[in-house]
Structure 1
Amino acid sequence: MYVPPAFREDDLAALHGVMRDARLANLVTATAEGLMATPLPLMLAPDEGPYGTLYGHVARANPQWKLSPAYDAMALFMGPDAYVSPSWYASKQEHQKVVPTWNYIAVHAYGQAEFFEDADRLLDVVTRLTNVHEQNRPKPWAVTDAPEAFIRAQLKGIVGLRLPITRLEGKRKMSQNRSAEDRAGVAAGLAASERTSDRAAAALIPQ
């Protein structure tokens, strides 16, 4: 990922925060048959390894897990993003030399993907992943709410994923390269948007 110095994010806690908030990632592997990508929720175990370890699962019918990767896998996480109109820049009124751009946050996690079929390990991953996404619901659903035999049968249709992270790249492009006046204009423009993602991006623009 191309990361100019002004947009580089190296803080591990911030990177992990983006990964947790993203909810859905894209797992990309380079195989002998070409690039393959699968959107899937991934759970971060932050204390496993220097950068953390990712866990998830793919459908057993998905050929991605059967093809030996030629290189490290890459998990792509996206944070808030928004189109930035040049009409929001204060500098537009001065010289008109402005163009549209896009603000966004992205984290790329690299490591060797490990796939596994052990039923007990799969149950652990499925349970932990479910708990992550159910924990804030008024009445959280738990894997144990379903009949054990049913869950065991469902596990036969998936394959587990473990990805120990060996490298992290982070990019936080939120108008840091603009003047304070331009940033204020972008923040105000996005904050007034009807799009939830725009308003989320507005709150991340440095003032």
Structure 2
Amino acid sequence: MRKKKWKKVLIWVASVIVVLGVGGLFAANYAVDKLISTLAADLENDLMNEVVTAVEENSNDPVDGSDKTTTYTADEIANPSDDQPVGSVDELVESEQGRVDSAQTDSSTQTEDVQSKDSYQAEVPVDKAKVIQEKITVGEKAQLTSVFLEELSMSDIKDLQALASGGLSIDEKKEARSLILNRLSPEQYDELIQIAKKYGMSQGKSYGEVIEEK
């Protein structure tokens, strides 16, 4: 009985960390991974359903047997013979060039996506929490866990857990931050907010700066 109760406490603490926008920061890696996986489950299911629907629709499309593609070798493209349709060769060259351009564009887009993962976002999407889950260090998890277990009550953790479900809107982040400001000391808050800033989940404003804005 006591063991089950402790597991619930671990999950609640992990929920607090996700709400704060520092994603999955908990010494018990299993508890963190389990929580973030739960938050992302709905989004992943929706994406899978969209893919399955698209595949089914494509499989029902009629196939035109007259649409055939002629394949040419590199030598044939460079030195077309008289009996080869010039237009077909030109179209193939343009098609191959289009593939190269498309590949370069996709590569550039992927690079930008990776770089943007650590940039600050006002809202906390589920996919970003998953990326941070993979990057956060064990030491940082332990640091946040120690502070939360010491300063937050079970009621606080339950409130933050409720906010954590389904990602975080801007208003929910403000509500969670207000609760944390009332519980942590300025030193504790400033230490934890630097971790959040490192992973693009906060602008890194200090305890004093936030109080002045309020």
TM-score, scaled relative to structure 1: 0.24
Write 1 or 2 for the structure with the bigger share of strand.
1
Of structures 1 and 2, the one with the larger relative CO (CA 8 A, separation 6+) is 2
- Whose Rg is larger? 2
Write 1 or 2 for the structure with the bigger share of helix.
2
TM-score, scaled relative to structure 2: 0.23
